[in-house]
Amino acid sequence: MKQVNGQKLLEALGSGVDAIRGRITPDAPMDRVTWFRAGGLAELMFQPHDTDDLVAFLKLVPKEVPIMVVGVGSNLLVRDGGIPGIVIRLSAKGFGDLELVGENRIKAGAICPDKNISAMALDHGIGGFYFYYGIPGSIGGALRMNAGANGGETSERVVEVHAVDRKGNKHVLSNADMGYAYRHSDAAKDLIFTHAIFEGYAEDKNKIRTDMDAVRQHRETVQPIREKTGGSTFKNPQGHSAWKLIDEAGCRGLMIGNAQMSPLHCNFMINTGQATGYELEYLGETVRQRVMEHSGVKLEWEIKRVGKFMPGYEIREFLGRAMA
Ligand SMILES: Cc1cc2nc3c(=O)[nH]c(=O)nc-3n(C[C@H](O)[C@H](O)[C@H](O)COP(=O)(O)OP(=O)(O)OC[C@H]3O[C@@H](n4cnc5c(N)ncnc54)[C@H](O)[C@@H]3O)c2cc1C
């Protein structure tokens, strides 16, 4: 079932859209954006030309219209009923720059790929960015998710974050303002990060290169990185590894339709063909339910699930079978 409201929403924004320079697409397919290659339509997608264009556009949006921002979709599960309202997708031209801005400091646009910051840091002998080499997301996603791996995480490197709120007001947040915790930021949900300044430390280039190679090699051996996936499905609960709990509950390789818990890394969910958002989320809730029954631990989703269920295909937490 397709959404057909995008054009109506576009008309509701009024004639102010004529001055907008970015691209506006009604009923935009989200399966082309997400790594899972699944999910419904965004009612209206906006790709701003630059920050001023983003601000101008946001000022046109009525307050009751939901707005969400996506990066490169490597941590997103979009439901089949699509995303109501506006999805902002930053353009590489306006938000993809990387620049050295002082000793060991790098300014990165929010849609810049994480691995580009590692490469720049290596070129300039700046340590502390090796871990981004293996994370396939954008800087905006990393800022929101506190992305991290191989002993490093975003919160350790952030100096300040520049953002725009849904009314189009600009903000600058300090590291403390970002309220970082494990794979989480407390920054207001309506903020669209536009760029950020990161700081590393002077380090020998050979050491940086060795650390980056280790990250790549580790990933290629233990993760299904060439599959349609969203990375780690669940956060590691305090004192546990999510993958171990999943394995012990017998869910390695578990399949529902075309969605599977990867046999290689069983905390990675993969789309083995034409999986729907429903199949992927149903698989995830099945795993949560089985892990809870087996070990009593409630797994928490790391992947962001967004959008609406298709009518008749609603999924309840733990499949509605949660105990106390
Ligand atoms: C193969 C694979 C391996 C992975 N390995 C790791 C890993 O080792 N460590 C790790 O932490 N993650 C990992 N991930 C998950 C993912 O890459 C990270 O969470 C990444 O930071 C998400 O970035 P993104 O651009 O894809 O964000 P998206 O998936 O597009 O969005 C994720 C969240 O960030 C928000 N967001 C995105 N851009 C912005 C912005 N500009 N302003 C405000 N909010 C924004 C979105 O609204 C959403 O809530 C992996 C994923 C895959 C597919």
pLDDT digits (tens, 9 = 90+) for 197-230: 999 999 999 999 999 999 999 988 888 888 999 9
In which region does residue 272 sit, left (phi positive, over 0), alpha (psi from -120 to 50) or beta (all else)?
alpha
What is the 11 CA–ligand 1 centroid distance (Å)? 32
250 in helix, strand or coil? coil
Same domain, 190 and 279: no
Burial group, residue 271, by CB count within 10 angstroms (0-12, 13-18, 19+): buried
Phi and psi at residue 57, in whole multiples of 5°? Answer: -65, -45
Q: State pTM to two decimals.
A: 0.95
How many angstroms is it from 162 CA to the middle of ligand 1?
Answer: 18
Does one domain contain both 201 and 268? no
Catalytic residue among 74, 138, 232, 262: 232
Question: What is the rounded CA–CA span in Å between residue 120 and residue 106?
Answer: 9
| 234 has a pLDDT exceeding 80 | yes
- Told to judge if 232 belongs to the known catalytic residues of this protein, a careful annotator would answer yes
pLDDT per residue as tens digits for the range 4-50: 589 999 999 999 999 999 999 999 999 999 999 999 999 999 999 99
Q: What is d(CA 287, CA 261) in angstroms, rounded to the nearest whole number?
A: 9
Show the domain range for 135. 95-207
Which domain CATH number covers 12? Answer: 3.30.43.10
From 135, 180, 191, 198, mutation site for ligand 1 pocket: most ligand atoms within 8 A of C-beta: 135
Ligand 1 pocket mutation pick from 91, 144, 180 by most atoms within 8 angstroms of CB: 144
Claim to verify: residue 84 and residue 102 sit in the same structural domain? no
- Total tally of structural domains belonging to the chain: 3
220 tagged catalytic? no
How many Cα atoms are found within 13 Å in the side-chain-facing hemisphere of 48?
Answer: 26
For residues 71 and 119, membership in a common domain is answered with: no
Tokens of 111: 């849609």
CB burial of 133-149 (b: ≥16 within 10 Å; e: otherwise) equals bbbbbbbbbbbbbbbbb
DSSP helix/strand/coil, 30: helix
Place of tokens 């920050």: 51
Active site residue 183: yes
Same domain, 138 and 166: yes
- What are 98-113's pLDDT values in tens digits? 999 989 999 999 999 9
- Asked, for residue 230, whether it belongs to a domain, the answer is yes
Tokens of 247: 């394995």
The answer to the question of residue 133 being in a domain is yes
- Chain centroid to CA 43: 19
Residue 4's pLDDT is 54
Read off the CATH number of the domain in which 149 is found. 3.30.465.10
Domain-located, residue 183:
yes
Nearest CA to ligand 1 atom 12: 147
